[in-house]
Amino acid sequence: MDTRVKESKLDPVTLEVVRDALPAISNEMALDLQRTSYNMMIYEVRDYCTALLDPEGNLICQNVGGVSHFVADLGVLVTDGMKRYGREGFKPGDVVITNHQAVAGQHLNNIVIYTPVFYEGELLMFAMVRAHWIDVGGTSTGFGAGAHVADPWLEGLQLDQLKIYRGGELNEPLYRLIKDNIRFPESSLGDMKSQMAACRLGMRRMEEMFKKYGKDTILACIRKVYQETEQKCRNVVSKITDGVYEAESFLDDDGVTKGERVRIHAKITVKSGHMTIDLSGCSGERKAGINSRTYAGARVAYKALTGPLDPVNEGSFTACDVIIPEGSIMMARYPAPMAGWSHILPMVVDTIVRALAPAMKDNIPAAHHGLLSGGVVFFGKQPKTGRGFVVQSIEGGGWGGRPTEDGESGTVTVCQGDVRNASIESIEMKCPVIIQNRGLRQDSGGPGKFRGGLGLNVRAKNLVEGRWNLDSPRRKDCLPWGLWGGMEGDTEQKLLQLEGQEFKKVEQNRYPVPANAVAWVSTGSGGGWGDPLDRDPARVQWDVIEELVSEKSARENYGVVLGKDHSIDAAATVALRAKLRAAPRPSHAV
């Protein structure tokens, strides 16, 4: 006899308690990880996610604000682990470590730790943490070697569904192997223990839930949450006119094969509340390390369109089919290099969203800076101890103007959740590096009725000799686009100044420098939304006063004339705007 609780008989109060408790558990796991980790990329930058999944790989919950582009690649790990060990192959006290690119499809720094969750001897789910280790050997330190890594073995250690703990007992040979092959074992293995602690916390909280409400009730609540989340998403998509929508973008090249564009093409089919995202038209896998193996771009875009503020679970994606053929740059076949796996994913999201702009004009923003780059990375040795260190910070950029307001400035991409830059105080306190400047880039945001968000200027000076990562993105010919007459944003660039010399481009990772060199990182910005000549002159005036927009740009792009005291010359503004409207202008509308 089926003793499962029927969803229709669930107590609504219990359902709401469980609905809110599940993401609260993953949020508590995230806090535990952040407070106990050793690595600035975790406790400061927050490059991680925490989650619960069922044995079929369905996502039960993920921490709010967790790295967005991790959301598509957790279930595949559980599915692979179940194939490897079987349901009977997991025991209480087991801890699995994995990052293998044949399944995970990411750079090797993104280490996953997961543990089985049992109740009354039955395997019911897994607690999982994916977090960015500072080092996993090879060229992995400092966000990896990027596009120029030739194969996964150069990048670092491939850990393929290995049990670091078996039934609560440490796997000593595996532990020593990892320790002996990474540069910062105290940091990375300390982070591993923090991940394990977060998983154990999730296990305890779920045991408490099962004891309080009963296994059948909890599982019935999870199924009901899936169903209701799916229906919410379908309700949003059902408001889009059925049809086929397409858009494309590109990188100038992949960093290895110069001059050969990397195509991104999205074909979106909407029918009766269901969406199919077809990325078959994207570039094939490349020799450069910008390949990945992930549905993340499509899933992040779909989530952003249908329920950006709701907690994520498997129901968030049930009504969306994703088509990516084997051999695509986003479904690359092992051992294609993947060190820069996430580089193009935000641009993929932008392209999917752009395709739907004609059908959702009042909801779709212009493109944001759209590349997972902008990092400040320096390697050196502490002068007193001789121990190696690495400075890592992810610097944000500008988001696209929106139908009712300007784009946000200095913010990480849509694929990075609550990731943030490392604080100046932490960097300078722990490493011999001075942050000379971190501020907004004037005039970088794409002009529009609603202006694109601004990128950042970051200047950092190394006080000891070492190496800078200075490879710049290849997006000069496809800038972050504007919509409906809005103008393009700007792309990122990185410069280097040796003592007594001018700033120059280097475009190389691990570039050796003497002490007192200065790296200048300028991050990209967002496109504008709507004709800049329709922008409220008072908004332009305020932007000039705040030094976000120059007086020159105010005149040339917005047609606003300001006096010496920044007062608006209304008559001159009307005349100038009429003149600019009459002149030929490039179209930036979709």
DSSP-derived secondary structure for 354-396: HHTTTT-TTTPPPP----S--EEEEEEE-TTT--EEEEEEE--
Q: How far is CA 6 from CA 217, 222, 245, 314, in A?
A: 9, 12, 39, 19
Task: Say if CB 478 and CB 250 are below 8 A apart.
Answer: yes
Task: Say if CB 123 and CB 78 are below 8 A apart.
Answer: no
In this prediction the pTM is 0.94
Burial label, 480 (beta-carbon count in 10 A; 0-12, 13-18, 19+): buried
Given this model, what pLDDT does residue 277 score? 98
- Best CA proximity match to 130, nearest among 115, 116, 108, 110: 110
What angle is formed at CA 523 by the lines to CA 519 and CA 525, rounded to 5 degrees? 160
Q: How far is CA 163 from CA 85, 281, 313, in A?
A: 10, 39, 27
Q: Which two tokens stand for residue 52?
A: 């619960």
Given this model, what pLDDT does residue 258 score? 84
Q: How far apart are CA 368 and CA 349, in angstroms?
A: 10
Residue 532, preceding peptide bond in cis (omega within 30° of 0) = no
Burial label, 138 (beta-carbon count in 10 A; 0-12, 13-18, 19+): buried
Number of H helices, E strands in the chain: 14, 20
Q: pLDDT tens for the chain, 590 residues: list them.
A: 344 666 657 999 999 999 999 999 999 999 999 999 998 889 988 999 999 999 999 999 999 988 888 888 899 999 999 999 999 999 999 999 999 999 989 999 999 999 999 999 999 999 999 999 999 998 887 766 667 788 888 899 999 999 999 999 999 999 999 999 999 999 999 999 999 999 999 999 999 999 999 999 999 999 999 999 999 999 999 999 999 999 999 999 998 888 899 999 999 999 999 999 999 999 999 999 999 999 999 999 999 999 999 999 999 999 999 999 999 999 999 999 998 898 899 999 999 999 999 999 999 999 999 987 668 999 999 999 999 999 989 999 999 999 999 999 999 999 998 888 999 999 999 999 999 999 999 999 999 999 999 999 999 999 999 999 998 778 899 999 999 999 999 999 999 999 999 999 988 888 999 999 999 999 999 999 999 999 999 999 999 999 999 999 999 999 999 999 999 999 999 999 999 999 987 654 44
Which residues on adjacent β-strands are paired with residue 328? 284
Given this model, what pLDDT does residue 587 score? 52
Q: How far apart are CA 373 and CA 342, in angstroms?
A: 9
Q: How far apart are CA 224 and CA 227, in angstroms?
A: 5
What angle is formed at CA 71 by the lines to CA 228 and CA 40, rounded to 5 degrees? 135
Find the largest Cα–Cα distance for the chain: 84
Task: Say if CB 393 and CB 351 are below 8 A apart.
Answer: no
Q: Count the alpha carbons within 13 Å of 308 in the hemisphere toward its beta carbon.
A: 8
- The two beta strands, 274-278 and 262-271, are antiparallel
Q: Domain limits of the chain? A: 7-229, 365-532, 537-582
Given this model, what pLDDT does residue 5 score? 63
Q: Which two tokens stand for residue 467?
A: 């190496």
Given this model, what pLDDT does residue 256 score? 87
Residues in CB range of 24: below 8 A, 6 or more apart: none
- Best CA proximity match to 60, nearest among 16, 26, 83, 33: 26
Phi/psi at 208 (nearest 5 deg)?
A: -65, -40
Given this model, what pLDDT does residue 6 score? 64
Residues in CB range of 177: below 8 A, 6 or more apart: none
DSSP-derived secondary structure for 289-322: TT--B-SHHHHHHHHHHH-TTSPP-GGGSTTEEE
Given this model, what pLDDT does residue 65 score? 85
Q: Which two tokens stand for residue 400?
A: 């696209």
Amino acid at 590: V
SS3 212: helix
Q: How far apart are CA 533 and CA 580, in angstroms?
A: 8
Residues in CB range of 363: below 8 A, 6 or more apart: 305, 403
Phi/psi at 111 (nearest 5 deg)?
A: -85, 130
- The two beta strands, 110-119 and 122-132, are antiparallel
Q: CA 284, 288, 292, 293 torsion: positive or negative?
A: positive
Given this model, what pLDDT does residue 146 score? 67
Task: Say if CB 444 and CB 454 are below 8 A apart.
Answer: yes
Residues in CB range of 168: below 8 A, 6 or more apart: 92, 93
Given this model, what pLDDT does residue 373 score? 67
* Residue 397 DSSP label: B
Query: What is the rounded end-to-end Cα distance, in angstroms, of the chain?
Result: 58
Phi/psi at 496 (nearest 5 deg)?
A: -135, 140
- Best CA proximity match to 557, nearest among 259, 539, 545, 355: 539
